[in-house]
Amino acid sequence: MEEAAGPGADDTILARLDRLRAADLPVHGGRTMAYVYDSGLAGLDDLAARAQAAFAGVNGLDMTAFPSVVTLENDVVRQAADLLGGGPATAGTFTSGGTESCLLAVLTAREHAARTRGVTAPEIVLPQTAHAAFHKAAALFGLTPVTVPVDPGTFRVRPQDVAAALTPRTALVVASAPSYAHGVVDPVPEVAAAAAERDVLCHVDACIGGWYLGHRRLADGIAPPPPFDLAVPGVSSLSVDLHKYGYTPKGASVLLFRDAELRRHGWFAHASWPGYPVVNATLQGTKSAGPLAAAWAVLQRVGTAGYAELARRVHEATALLVDGIGRIDGLRVLGAPDASLVAVAADDPGPDPFVVADEMRLRGWYLQPQPAFAGSPANLHLTVTAAVADPARIAELLAELAAAVQRARALGPATVDPGIAEVAAALDPATLGPAEVALALEVAGVGADGSLPQRMAPVLAVLQALPAPLTERLLPEVISRLYAG
Ligand SMILES: Cc1ncc(COP(=O)(O)O)c(C=O)c1O
């Protein structure tokens, strides 16, 4: 616990915050290849911080009291719609992030299905590669997820599998542009057509890649991405995060709808209480206009040509990276990435990817481990942002990666005692008590205080060997231990 500073000691307080951040992954410089997005543009973060500070106290709860919020939101939504195939009827909502955009897309579809088609037990059709946010939405809003496998070679969903999964209860079909895990774009035109044929809504999750792909399309001399946006017939909504490839501060995403009539189904209004009349377009009540103002400012500053240039740099860097990884003995890229996300698996026999991640982390690079799931082997996720998009940085990354592979081979893979997997398979996650949970975490290498070892490969190997429901029971316990009480 940090000691309290006295009143007036602003510098001391800020210095303490800086000290806390020292333990975090760096958010600038391009060596953290997940979670953070660095444009590398001088002064951009300062502008965003000033805009954010100026609007921090403005409350987006009541747009009539704070009309600036409406103006900023209209501007940002219009820019997103213009970029991503919208027309004059396109409507949108600024949200706090990709998860909230996905949640609202699902909530809207549920209400639309109930009100226009009388669906009372709604289902949502999801490629196996759809983001976890849709499963969260299904759990929160009472929809049944119907998961469709993806092609084991391309990791794209097959339209005929989506069509076969549709029932009279389907409220929404989801396609990714691109998927987080493999960075590939689902066949949006065919998936949307299958949905439209059954009068079902289709959401394109372009949270991570939409801003990048939309601008890459505008960059000269680069092959355009596959069609994925609102211009595709049958696509009824699309989410795109600005706090990713818009390089805005966190808390910024846009959810676009084909029209305001569809959008209204997700809004909540309440006048049956003694307080102020409520209209919420998003999940939050009171919400700071800071992230919106910061996003607006960053969009104004970078501009369309600026984003197209950033997208060109990211595209070239991703191509260099994919090519270079293909030349490292023992590594291979999963699928053929359509965007700027790369999933790197190991040949068989080859190095343990999780050990490679540990080795990279020890040298200041964060590559994100993705455990094996369905047909997707254990791999490392790399998000390429503009800050790393310099051929010299990519060469440095590839050299580090090649060296990490050598070291990982020498160390050997993280292994799991087969007995543990056997015992774990027999456990019922629903009935695990505190003592069993504590034992399971100890076996996985997690400390009583939730602390994790510096080398994560053994922990990840155990988690990967456990059935998903058991992992889902244990993960919150790990995090819970990090918090006091
Ligand atoms: C495809 C996709 N959808 C949704 C999300 C969720 O976004 P957020 O983390 O901003 O809530 C992500 C995050 O990476 C994503 O990649």
Distance (Å, rounded) from C-alpha 169 to C-alpha 138?
Answer: 14
**Whether pLDDT at 308 is above 80:** yes
Distance (Å, rounded) from C-alpha 277 to C-alpha 300?
Answer: 34
Which residue's CA is the nearest one to ligand 1's atom 9? 98
Q: Tell me, yes or no, whether 128 and 104 share the same domain.
A: yes
Over the stretch 332-352, which tens digit does the pLDDT of each residue have?
A: 999 999 999 999 999 988 999
Distance 428 CA to ligand 1 centre (A): 30
**pLDDT the model gives residue 421:** 77
CA nearest to 61, candidates 294, 280, 251, 295 = 280
Count of Cβ atoms closer than 10 Å to residue 476 Cβ: 10
Residue 45: inside a domain: no
**C-alpha distances in angstroms, 434 versus 125, 392, 396, 439?**
35, 51, 46, 9
Q: Give strand ranges (E) for 150-208.
A: 170-176, 201-205
Over the stretch 285-305, which tens digit does the pLDDT of each residue have?
A: 999 999 999 999 999 999 999
Q: Tell me, yes or no, whether 119 and 239 share the same domain.
A: yes
Last residue of a domain, one of 352, 386, 411: 411
Pairing of strands 91-95, 368-370: unpaired
Q: Tell me, yes or no, whether 178 and 146 share the same domain.
A: yes
**Whether pLDDT at 2 is above 70:** no
Question: Which pLDDT band, with edges at 50, 70 and 90, does 272 fall under?
Answer: very high
The answer to whether 286 and 62 are in contact (CB under 8 A) is no
Residue 375 maps to which CATH number? 3.90.1150.10
Mutate-to-test residue for ligand 1 from 37, 186, 207, highest number of ligand atoms within 8 A of CB:
207
Last residue of a domain, one of 391, 411, 431: 411
Q: Average pLDDT of 360-386?
A: 97
Which range among 207-211, 264-268, 448-452 shows the weakest confidence by mean pLDDT?
A: 448-452
Ligand 1 atom with the shortest distance to the CA of 244: 10
Q: Is 376 in the pocket of ligand 1 (CB under 6 A)?
A: no
Residue 40: inside a domain: no
Q: Tell me, yes or no, whether 92 and 230 share the same domain.
A: yes
Q: Tell me, yes or no, whether 136 and 250 share the same domain.
A: yes
Residue 26: inside a domain: no
Q: Average pLDDT of 397-422?
A: 93
Q: Is 131 in the pocket of ligand 1 (CB under 6 A)?
A: yes
Over the stretch 314-329, which tens digit does the pLDDT of each residue have?
A: 999 999 999 999 999 9
- In three-state secondary structure terms, 14 is helix
Question: Which residues pair with residue 355 across a beta bridge?
Answer: none
**Whether pLDDT at 19 is above 80:** yes
Q: How many domains does the chain have?
A: 3
Ligand 1 atom with the shortest distance to the CA of 206: 1
Distance 30 CA to ligand 1 centre (A): 19
Percent of the chain at pLDDT exceeding 70 = 98
The answer to whether 125 and 159 are in contact (CB under 8 A) is no
Distance 97 CA to ligand 1 centre (A): 8
**pLDDT the model gives residue 1:** 57
Residue 4: inside a domain: no
Distance (Å, rounded) from C-alpha 88 to C-alpha 75?
Answer: 14
Q: Is 158 in the pocket of ligand 1 (CB under 6 A)?
A: no
Over the stretch 185-237, which tens digit does the pLDDT of each residue have?
A: 999 999 999 999 999 999 999 999 999 999 999 999 999 999 999 999 999 99
Q: Average pLDDT of 412-440?
A: 86
Distance 472 CA to ligand 1 centre (A): 19
**pLDDT the model gives residue 232:** 98
Q: Tell me, yes or no, whether 243 and 380 share the same domain.
A: no
Q: Tell me, yes or no, whether 76 and 206 share the same domain.
A: yes
Percent of the chain at pLDDT exceeding 90 = 87
Distance 419 CA to ligand 1 centre (A): 36
Only one residue has tokens 């695990």, namely 432
Domain housing 405: 307-411
- Rounded to the nearest integer, the mean pLDDT of the chain is 95
Q: Is 180 in the pocket of ligand 1 (CB under 6 A)?
A: yes
Which residue's CA is the nearest one to ligand 1's atom 14? 208
Q: Tell me, yes or no, whether 247 and 360 share the same domain.
A: no
H or E segment to which residue 457 belongs: helix 457-465
Tallying the residues shown for the chain, one arrives at 485
Which residue's CA is the nearest one to ligand 1's atom 6? 98
Residue 192 maps to which CATH number? 3.40.640.10
Tokens of 252: 């910024």
The pTM for the full model equals 0.97
Residue 91: inside a domain: yes
Q: Is 203 in the pocket of ligand 1 (CB under 6 A)?
A: no
Last residue of a domain, one of 277, 297, 317: 297
Count of Cβ atoms closer than 10 Å to residue 301 Cβ: 16
Distance (Å, rounded) from C-alpha 84 to C-alpha 216?
Answer: 12
Ligand 1 atom with the shortest distance to the CA of 130: 1
Residue 44: inside a domain: no
Q: Tell me, yes or no, whether 205 and 292 share the same domain.
A: yes
Distance (Å, rounded) from C-alpha 254 to C-alpha 244?
Answer: 11
Q: Tell me, yes or no, whether 94 and 217 share the same domain.
A: yes
CA-based torsion, 99, 103, 106, 109: positive or negative:
negative
Q: Tell me, yes or no, whether 111 and 211 share the same domain.
A: yes
Ligand 1 atom with the shortest distance to the CA of 98: 7
Mutate-to-test residue for ligand 1 from 94, 208, 340, 368, highest number of ligand atoms within 8 A of CB:
208
Q: Tell me, yes or no, whether 190 and 81 share the same domain.
A: yes
CA nearest to 372, candidates 479, 469, 461 = 461
**pLDDT the model gives residue 485:** 64
Q: Is 208 in the pocket of ligand 1 (CB under 6 A)?
A: yes
Q: Is 205 in the pocket of ligand 1 (CB under 6 A)?
A: yes
Distance 100 CA to ligand 1 centre (A): 9
The answer to whether 211 and 242 are in contact (CB under 8 A) is yes
Q: Is 133 in the pocket of ligand 1 (CB under 6 A)?
A: yes
Residue 16: inside a domain: no
Residue 34: inside a domain: no
